Amino acid sequence: MVEKFHDELKELEKEVLSMGNLAKDMLKKSIESLKELDNKKAEWVISQKAKLADMDDEIEERTLRLITLYQPMAIDMRRIACILKMITYLNRIGRYGKDIAKFEIEFEKNGHVKKLISLPHMAGIVDSMIDDALYVFEKGDISKFNDFIEREETVDELRYSIFRECLSYMMEEPKVITRCTYYIMIARYLERCADHACKIAEKIIYMVTGQHVEIDCREETSKACFTGVKKK
């Protein structure tokens, strides 16, 4: 019975990683579609929304089934709880990718303002956070989260930098207002994806250590638990 439970749990973990990679790819390719003005990539991202939602529903159903049949405890229960939280955040990340991809059509019509501002750089940082979160979920090495505070702070700074830069362009040239407004919205979406990566990291840390933590960018709390994490 125990062996069967762990076999099913391992299969479930593989499904979570597959969902995570899909969500990450949706976000990554949405930015690529904007950068390259590639309508096919944008359409691919948009088309994956239903698949992502189906994976969310299926994993949730299978996870609840494991709880009902086997009544797991300790680290197994923490892992299952982590999975239930993770799929919600991963679904949101993928949906933000879909929302970003929809802007490709607008930029295809009129081109970009200043080569996408700093959005590709910002997206690269967010992508690294999601990638590390998935790695730690699989391998259990929470040291990957040591610099999450710094990365989250950088993403926040880039968001406000993009806002200020876009504002200056809009004041100088009214015809770019719509496109710059889209840049500001995309930066906000990327910032939210970074927040979701941080929430995933918190749940994984609890899964591995049994300790509730909060990833916090405030300097006075940043080293309370270990670098990048503080106790709640």
pLDDT of residue 224: 42
pLDDT of residue 220: 43
Q: How is residue 61 written in tokens?
A: 């159903």
pLDDT confidence band for 228 (50 / 70 / 90): very low
pLDDT confidence band for 145 (50 / 70 / 90): very high
- Average pLDDT (52-61) is 97
According to DSSP H, which parts of the chain are helical? 2-36, 39-47, 49-70, 74-101, 104-110, 119-139, 148-172, 177-209
- pTM for the complete prediction? 0.91
Residue 172, amino acid = E
pLDDT at 137 over 50: yes
pLDDT confidence band for 117 (50 / 70 / 90): confident
Mean pLDDT, the chain, rounded, equals: 91
Q: When comparing pLDDT for 191 and 217, which is higher?
A: 191
Domains, in order of start, for the chain: 2-231 (1.20.58.220)
